[in-house]
């Protein structure tokens, strides 16, 4: 039974995962809110991400920074000049669209990388008209995708909502380097919001105007990119790659880390992080290897400042393989830009190599909202036999790890015992209490938000001090002594985390 994107969106809303922001006002295109289950899922993802990536090196740290930044920071980064989309406007009515999308749709021609002048020429050549009122279209212009914010009285001071979180760690780099051990590699991780005036926001949280990124910026000595001591331990690890050379057949090819270094001249430091990223998807997020791939971008596709760029892709039910993030070797592009505009020296003296240089940056970038969408998509299972949806979240991602149900509501001792057990479990686990409707209905509701374990308190509980644990995946139930409940759940939780 296939489910349409609209049915999914409606289910995600009904279960409190995600829904349009400002919805009572008709929503706001490109903005979503997380309900009570979605918020827990998002936080769980963020915590897994932090635990994993911050622990790769004891010189990696998290920072938290303002979303609004100085105009000059975006002069330095190139966003002021280059973060633009081509736009087409009607000369009469208020129709407007992204020019490249419009032309691609009208002419079925790929115009990636075309200049505004080239796009205008195409429109004139084919005599394209406004699709709304059939009037003449104005020449193609460009629109900067950043949101300006004007500070102070009269908005005298121009600033911008950052279009990517990355610039915050770059601007913070020199200070953090001085505050820490003056040692490379230094990692600055940041989970925060970024903002883009997308012309066509779409597909729920896959392309929003306000979104959360989880990024790790690793500052390192470029002289050491080819030889990285930890590489040896991962050299035989098999990566799911789709390189530029694989495109004609469009198949994913398994290649060892060593093959990528030896056969494709990718640096050890870069490939090591490809390995760690794939391990995160497969071992931590539990994505089946067949649904994950590292997609290499070609020179036309990647940003000009990225020397190496692989997208991290997961296969979604509706959209196929979709970009979840990327591993970007941004060289010294950003720090050099900030040095030029701010006149602050970004060069450091590296004791270990006894040399001075501007560190290079390896960026591990993850779209958090995309991951939440992906986790919802991967977990969703409309089970015909049970007659309800099951969300197969792994226990470390599930919004609620357990639920407590009193079998009936009209027996005060039984309700009191259930409330006591709930209060106890709630101090250790993310837990919820549900006293209403039939047990079958309560199991179904728990399945729908992906609760791994449901604990039912029944008449036997009062007599024998036992409760029933029901497993979401198997629906099997087993009796457990109440005194052993918390430690048994802890074991279940830890073993699911260990299966990584």
Q: Backbone phi, then psi, for 478, in 5-degree steps?
A: -140, 150
Site for a second copy in 390-449 (CB under 8 A): 422, 426, 432-433, 436
279 sits near a second copy (criterion: CB under 8 A): no
Choose between 26 and 387: whose C-beta lies nearer to a second copy: 26
Site for a second copy in 9-28 (CB under 8 A): 13-16, 19, 21-28
203 sits near a second copy (criterion: CB under 8 A): no
Choose between 159 and 184: whose C-beta lies nearer to a second copy: 159
User: Between helices 368-379 and 36-54, what is the axis angle to 10°?
Assistant: 110
488 sits near a second copy (criterion: CB under 8 A): no
Segment near a second copy (CB under 8 A), from 116-124, 173-181, 250-258, 293-301? Answer: 173-181
Cα dihedral 26, 30, 33, 34 in deg (nearest 10):
140
Distance CA 27, CA 13 (A): 13
CA neighbor of 376 nearest in space, from 353, 398, 404, 354: 398
Q: Backbone phi, then psi, for 297, in 5-degree steps?
A: -90, 145
Locate the DSSP E strands across 166-300: 186-195, 210-220, 238-242, 253-256, 292-296
262 sits near a second copy (criterion: CB under 8 A): no
Segment near a second copy (CB under 8 A), from 30-38, 106-114, 258-266, 309-317? Answer: 30-38
221 sits near a second copy (criterion: CB under 8 A): no
Distance CA 368, CA 351 (A): 37
In whole angstroms, how close is the CB of 52 to a second copy at the nearest point? 12
Q: Which two tokens stand for residue 456?
A: 């039912």
CA neighbor of 236 nearest in space, from 269, 190, 272: 272
Q: How far is CA 441 from CA 4, 167, 388, in A?
A: 25, 49, 10
97 sits near a second copy (criterion: CB under 8 A): yes
42 sits near a second copy (criterion: CB under 8 A): yes
Choose between 186 and 489: whose C-beta lies nearer to a second copy: 186
In whole angstroms, how close is the CB of 469 to a second copy at the nearest point? 20
387 sits near a second copy (criterion: CB under 8 A): no
Site for a second copy in 49-78 (CB under 8 A): 55, 58, 61-70, 72-73
Cβ burial 154-164 (10 Å sphere, 16+ → b, else e): eeeeebbbbbb
Owner of token pair 């998807």: 281
Q: Interface mask (CB under 8 A) for a second copy, residues 445-474, using x and -?
A: ------------------------------
Choose between 21 and 226: whose C-beta lies nearer to a second copy: 21
Beta bridge partners of 327: 310, 364
In whole angstroms, how close is the CB of 25 to a second copy at the nearest point? 4
Choose between 195 and 305: whose C-beta lies nearer to a second copy: 195
Distance CA 372, CA 37 (A): 11
Site for a second copy in 133-152 (CB under 8 A): 143, 147, 149-152
Segment near a second copy (CB under 8 A), from 172-180, 251-259, 352-360, 465-473? Answer: 172-180
DSSP state for residue 105 in the 8-state scheme:
H
219 sits near a second copy (criterion: CB under 8 A): no
Which residues, including other chains, have CB under 8 Å from residue 478's CB and lie 6 or more apart? 468, 469
């Amino acid at each position: 039974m296939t489910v349409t994107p609209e049915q999914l969106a409606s289910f995600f809303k009904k279960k409190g995962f995600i829904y349009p922001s400002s919805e009572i006002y008709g929503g706001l295109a490109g903005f979503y809110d997380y309900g009570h289950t979605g918020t827990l899922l998002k936080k769980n993802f963020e915590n897994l991400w932090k635990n994993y990536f911050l622990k790769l090196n004891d010189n990696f740290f998290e920072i938290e920074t303002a979303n609004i930044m100085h105009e000059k920071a975006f002069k330095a980064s190139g966003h002021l000049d280059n973060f633009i989309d081509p736009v087409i406007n009607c000369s009469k009515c208020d129709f407007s669209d992204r020019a490249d999308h419009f032309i691609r749709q009208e002419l079925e021609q790929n115009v990636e990388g075309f200049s505004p002048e080239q796009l205008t020429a195409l429109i004139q050549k084919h005599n394209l008209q406004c699709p709304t009122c059939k009037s003449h279209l104005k020449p193609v212009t460009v629109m900067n995708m950043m949101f300006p914010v004007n500070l102070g009285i009269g908005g005298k001071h121009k600033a911008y909502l950052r279009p990517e979180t990355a610039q915050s760690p770059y601007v913070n780099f020199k200070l953090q380097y001085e505050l820490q051990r003056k040692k490379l590699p230094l990692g600055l991780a940041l989970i925060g919001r970024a903002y883009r005036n997308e012309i066509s926001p779409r597909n729920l949280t896959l392309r929003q105007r306000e979104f959360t990124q989880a990024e790790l910026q690793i500052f390192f000595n470029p002289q050491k990119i080819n030889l990285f001591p930890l590489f040896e331990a991962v050299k035989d690890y098999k990566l799911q790659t789709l390189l530029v050379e694989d495109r004609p057949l469009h198949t994913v090819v398994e290649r060892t880390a060593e093959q990528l270094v030896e056969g494709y001249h990718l640096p050890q430091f870069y490939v090591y992080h490809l390995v760690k990223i794939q391990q995160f998807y497969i071992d931590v997020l539990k994505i089946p290897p067949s649904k994950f791939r590292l997609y290499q971008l070609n020179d036309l596709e990647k940003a000009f400042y990225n020397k190496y760029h692989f997208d991290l892709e997961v296969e979604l039910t509706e959209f196929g393989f979709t970009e979840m993030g990327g591993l970007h070797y941004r060289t010294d592009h950003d720090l050099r830009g900030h040095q030029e505009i701010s006149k602050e020296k970004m060069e450091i003296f590296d004791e270990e190599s006894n040399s001075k240089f501007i560190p290079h940056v390896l960026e591990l970038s993850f779209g958090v909202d995309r991951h939440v969408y992906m986790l919802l998509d991967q977990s969703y299972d409309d089970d015909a036999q049970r007659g309800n949806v099951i969300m197969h979240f792994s226990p470390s991602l599930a919004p609620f790890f357990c639920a407590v149900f009193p079998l009936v509501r009209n027996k005060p001792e039984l309700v009191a015992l259930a409330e006591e057990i709930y209060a106890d479990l709630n101090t250790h686990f993310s837990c919820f209490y549900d006293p209403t409707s039939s047990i079958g209905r309560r199991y179904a509701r728990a399945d729908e938000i992906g609760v791994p374990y449901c604990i039912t308190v029944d008449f036997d509980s009062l007599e024998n001090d036992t409760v029933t644990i029901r497993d979401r995946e198997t629906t099997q139930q087993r009796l457990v002594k109440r005194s052993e409940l918390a430690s048994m759940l802890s074991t279940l939780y830890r073993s699911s985390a260990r299966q990584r």
